[in-house]
């Protein structure tokens, strides 16, 4: 990384300057006199917990909010950003955590959306596809312009977002937690792409929670806490621990209490499972995996290698082609493949879905309603078809307290909670029934450090209590932190299972890439 010394930096004109930005919402100051700048060819990282004011600052930059005080300068000139189209006119791009893609359209169509065509009113998709191909080759993005978005895995969709930005020739790109969906090797490739972009003189604003990436990629790092800028530093001047402390204002515990797994009997057995995918190719091929009582098995893999289909097959949402999935009750197998989610839940399986807002919660429903989504019809919460609100409220209040879900009240709509608290709510609901088996897909993706730590602790506690847990995660750090055994999936096939103690990142990375000995 070309580390630019401070003296040279001050000579160059910043491509973006945000000076003394203050943004107030009723009762709260989201940004309090924040100053932030980006030089050409620089990666400037913005670090902070959820609610620290990062997204407010970025929304101001993207024209979604207007600051109450302070100025935004682009190339030294004061600009007024009233809407995203103003921002786009100034060649500012943003890749959101939730991708802004139309899933029923192809990659090329998505890229062409909203752009004027060389052929007037008729979109010249061939031309667009050609340019996508050349950009894709140049930056190593491996994107097929004719693929439909719904066919693509999360990691691939992200590369489409990058293509979109490159296609529009943005000079300043905001990346909101872009590496959450990538393998270590992919992250390396991704960083090569980003460096390619900065070497063209583009500026990048990188938002991430992952310290090692932040340290590797950034030229400068600014930390926000409670709406205020805590400080700006460089990777040379700081350490991961110091950054984490700046961010949360306290020491972060990133080690796991060693407690050997008290492995019991097999609780979940997947045997030679094959499952169809959405693209006509089988998403899982001859996949076998056992999970025992009292252990956490981590399933590592690059996004889009069959993890989603596996979770759907186990939870009863996706029909299986061949093979079997069984839960065990007192040693007797009960096949659950293709039974549907209700029967699977009744057999003792719980799941934390990957897309928490789409599959895990109903945003408009209150926290209390969400807590009983799957068992509102049980005799405990329902009498003669009528809901027993007293009991539902008592139960939800208890779960909210037990799992430290921070919400103004249990009557608050779930969508008003932060991502971390929605996830805690879902974990509370899923662990409450003392499941025999828990499937947790991406349990802490996009969740702030505090909540992630807490969720990990609860998963380990459930394991210690004898639950068999399968954690499906694209975050290798998370898998290595949590799992007793690590399984690796690649292109729908089981690459092998290793004990965590014997596992190295390099070995797992090779397995994730499909390299076998």
Partner 1 sequence: MRSYLIAASIAIASVAAALAVGAIMLLALGANPIDGYKTMFTAAFGSADGLASTAVKAIPLMLVGVGICIAFRANVINIGGEGQMVVGGLLATSVALALPNAPAVVLLPLILCAGIIGGAFWGSIPGALKAHYNVSEILSTIMLNIVAVQLMNFLLRGPLIDPGEIERGTRIPQTARLPEAADLPMLSETLNLHSGILIAIAAAIGAWVLLWRTGLGFRLRSVGLNPAAARYAGIPVKRNIIIAMTLSGAMSGLAGAILVFGSESHRMVTDGSTMGFTGSAGFNGIVVALFGALHPLWTIPSSFLFGGMLVGANSLQRVAQVPSALIIALNGLIVVFVVSTEWHRKRLQNQVQTQASQKNENEQSASDHGNAKS
Instruction: Report the interface residues with partner 1, using CB under 8 A.
Output: 25-30, 49-52, 56, 225-227, 248-250, 315, 317, 340-342, 344-346, 351, 353, 355, 358-365, 369, 373-374, 376-377, 382, 385-387, 406-408, 412-413, 415-418, 421, 450
Nearer of residues 211 and 347 to partner 1, judged by Cβ:
347
Q: Are 118 and 131 in contact (CB under 8 A)?
A: no
Two tokens at 346? Answer: 């009744």
Nearer of residues 107 and 368 to partner 1, judged by Cβ:
368
Min dist CB 31 to partner 1, Å, is: 11
Question: Distance between the two ends of the chain, CA-based, in angstroms?
Answer: 33
Min dist CB 285 to partner 1, Å, is: 25
Two tokens at 485? Answer: 């055994």
Nearer of residues 4 and 387 to partner 1, judged by Cβ:
387
Min dist CB 500 to partner 1, Å, is: 29
Min dist CB 468 to partner 1, Å, is: 20
Residue entry with tokens 């609610």: 51
Beta-bridge partner residues of 161: none
Beta-bridge partner residues of 16: 38, 74
Q: Are 321 and 275 in contact (CB under 8 A)?
A: yes
Q: DSSP character for 265?
A: S
Spatial distance between the Cα atoms of 208 and 413, rounded to a whole number of angstroms? 27
Pick from 472, 422, 459, 477: nearest CA to 179: 477
Nearer of residues 130 and 377 to partner 1, judged by Cβ:
377
Two tokens at 400? Answer: 């909210």
Min dist CB 357 to partner 1, Å, is: 8
Nearer of residues 386 and 502 to partner 1, judged by Cβ:
386
Q: Are strands 69-74 and 43-47 parallel, antiparallel or unpaired?
A: unpaired
Nearer of residues 192 and 362 to partner 1, judged by Cβ:
362
Min dist CB 335 to partner 1, Å, is: 18
Nearer of residues 244 and 494 to partner 1, judged by Cβ:
244
Nearer of residues 13 and 409 to partner 1, judged by Cβ:
409
Residue 428 belongs to what H/E stretch?
helix 419-432
Min dist CB 416 to partner 1, Å, is: 4
Min dist CB 398 to partner 1, Å, is: 19
Min dist CB 417 to partner 1, Å, is: 8
10 contacts: CB under 8 Å, gap ≥ 6: none
Q: Are 74 and 245 in contact (CB under 8 A)?
A: no
CA angle 359, 457, 316 (to 5 degrees): 30
What are the angstrom distances between the C-alpha of 33 and each of 25, 53, 275, 338? 14, 11, 54, 56
Spatial distance between the Cα atoms of 234 and 334, rounded to a whole number of angstroms? 56
Nearer of residues 25 and 150 to partner 1, judged by Cβ:
25
Nearer of residues 202 and 225 to partner 1, judged by Cβ:
225
Two tokens at 335? Answer: 């096949």
Min dist CB 510 to partner 1, Å, is: 34
- CB-based burial label for 258 (10 Å; 0-12, 13-18, 19+): exposed
Q: Are 110 and 119 in contact (CB under 8 A)?
A: no
């Amino acid at each position: 990384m070309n580390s630019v010394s401070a003296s040279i930096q001050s000579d160059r004109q910043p491509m973006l300057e945000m000076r003394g930005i203050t943004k107030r919402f009723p009762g709260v100051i989201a940004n309090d006199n924040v100053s932030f700048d980006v030089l050409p060819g620089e990666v400037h990282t913005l670090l902070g917990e959820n609610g620290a004011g990062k997204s407010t600052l970025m929304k101001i930059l993207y024209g979604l909010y207007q600051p109450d005080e302070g100025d935004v300068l682009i190339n030294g000139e004061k600009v007024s950003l009233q809407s995203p189209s103003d921002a786009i006119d100034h060649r500012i791009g943003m890749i959101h955590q939730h991708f802004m893609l139309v899933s029923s359209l192809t990659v090329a169509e998505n890229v062409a959306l909203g752009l004027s065509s060389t052929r007037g009113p008729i979109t010249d998709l061939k031309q667009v596809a050609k340019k996508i191909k050349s950009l894709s080759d140049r930056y190593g993005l491996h994107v097929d312009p004719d693929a439909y978005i719904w066919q693509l895995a999360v990691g691939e969709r992200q590369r489409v977002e990058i293509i979109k930005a490159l296609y529009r020739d943005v000079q300043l790109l905001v990346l909101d937690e872009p590496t959450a969906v990538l393998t270590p090797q992919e992250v390396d490739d991704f960083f090569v792409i980003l460096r390619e972009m900065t070497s063209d003189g583009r500026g990048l604003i990188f938002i991430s929670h992952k310290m090692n990436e932040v340290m590797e990629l950034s030229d400068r790092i600014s930390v926000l806490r409670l709406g205020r800028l805590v400080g700006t530093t460089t990777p040379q001047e700081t350490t991961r621990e110091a950054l984490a402390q700046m961010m949360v204002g306290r020491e972060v515990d990133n080690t796991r209490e060693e407690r050997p797994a008290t492995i019991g009997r097999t609780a979940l057995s997947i045997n030679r499972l094959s499952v169809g995918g959405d693209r006509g190719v089988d998403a899982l091929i001859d996949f076998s995996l056992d999970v025992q009582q009292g252990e956490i098995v981590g399933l590592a893999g690059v996004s889009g290698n069959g993890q989603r289909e596996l979770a759907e097959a186990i939870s009863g949402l996706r029909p299986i082609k061949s093979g079997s999935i069984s839960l065990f009750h007192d040693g007797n197998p009960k096949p659950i493949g293709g039974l549907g989610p209700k029967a699977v839940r009744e057999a003792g399986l719980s799941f934390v879905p990957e897309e928490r807002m789409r599959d895990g919660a109903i945003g408009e429903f209150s926290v209390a309603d969400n807590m009983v989504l799957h068992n509102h019809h049980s005799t405990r919460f329902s009498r003669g078809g009528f809901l027993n609100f007293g009991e539902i409220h008592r139960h939800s209040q208890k779960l909210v307290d037990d799992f430290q879900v921070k919400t103004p009240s249990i009557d608050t709509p779930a969508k008003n909670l932060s991502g971390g608290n929605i996830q805690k709510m879902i974990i509370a609901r899923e662990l409450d029934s003392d499941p025999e088996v828990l499937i947790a897909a991406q349990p802490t993706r996009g969740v702030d450090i505090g909540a992630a730590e807490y969720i990990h602790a609860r998963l380990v506690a459930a394991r210690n209590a004898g639950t068999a847990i399968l954690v499906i995660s694209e975050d290798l750090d998370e898998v290595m932190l949590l799992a007793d055994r690590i399984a690796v999936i690649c292109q729908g096939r089981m690459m092998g299972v290793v004990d965590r103690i014997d596992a190295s990142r390099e070995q797992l990375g090779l397995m994730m890439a499909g390299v076998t000995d």
